[in-house]
Amino acid sequence: MNRGALLFRIRALTLCFIVGLILSGVTAIPLASQVNFLAKISGAEARIGNSGIPAPEWAVWLTKVQTALNNTSVEAPFLFYGTDWLAFGHFVIAVAFIGAYRDPMRNEWLFTFGIIACLMTIPYAFVFGSVRGIPWWWRLTDSSFGVFGLVPLLLCRRFVRMIVADSEATPAGVH
């Protein structure tokens, strides 16, 4: 594959990663309204206490989270400031990756940084999820963000290294 095609792929994958970071950040802000919507469309509320049939674990968890978020939004809305800053962190990391988009060769280190950060989500989700009483299956969901982010970053770093190896193997002045 030629340099131009590899650069196109790197930029497309980097852009996907940036958009993913922004969307992930945006969703950290309106938590209560999102969970209310999810509980409504999934039918979780209707499954709780439904004619003696045990509710699925996911429905119990979702309504528990819904109640906690709704109570918090009334009693202590300032606690949501923490998720506002979580969103900000996503936005700042997305801005950093603009450098990798613009000049992937010079900023290869950002792909390595992102790979390390994605890998760190897995133990982080399992350790702190356990400490906070988060169900194991939700910790898998949180870990999946790192796994999905890992794929484009690994590809980008690989493509950058292919370009570098090709340019080192090509004699000066011959392209």
| Residue 174 covered by a domain | no
What's the number of domains the chain is made of? 1
The per-residue DSSP string of 25-74 comes to HHTTSSHHHHHHHHHHHHTHHHHTT-TTPPPPHHHHHHHHHHHHHHHHHH
**Owning domain of residue 141:** 3-169
Q: So what's the pLDDT on residue 53? A: 81
| Residue 175 covered by a domain | no
Instruction: Return the structure tokens found at 129.
Output: 């999820």
Q: Which residue has the tokens 């978020």?
A: 69
Q: So what's the pLDDT on residue 52? A: 72
If we measure between CA atoms, which residue out of 86, 140, 83, 152 comes closest to residue 114?
152
| Residue 59 covered by a domain | yes
Q: How far is CA 25 from the centre of its chain?
A: 8
3 state SS of 144: helix
3 state SS of 97: helix
Instruction: Return the structure tokens found at 94.
Output: 């997305």
| Residue 108 covered by a domain | yes
Q: So what's the pLDDT on residue 50? A: 67
Q: pLDDT tens for the chain, 175 residues: list them.
A: 899 999 999 999 999 999 999 999 999 999 999 999 999 999 998 888 666 788 899 999 999 999 999 999 999 999 999 999 999 999 999 999 999 999 999 999 999 999 999 999 999 999 999 999 999 999 999 999 999 999 999 999 999 999 999 988 877 655 5
Q: So what's the pLDDT on residue 175? A: 56
Are 21 and 163 contacting, i.e. CB atoms less than 8 angstroms apart? no
DSSP-assigned letter for residue 76? -
Give buried/exposed letters for 47-75 (b at 16+ CB in 10 A, else e). Answer: bbeeeeeebeeebebbbebbeebeeeeee
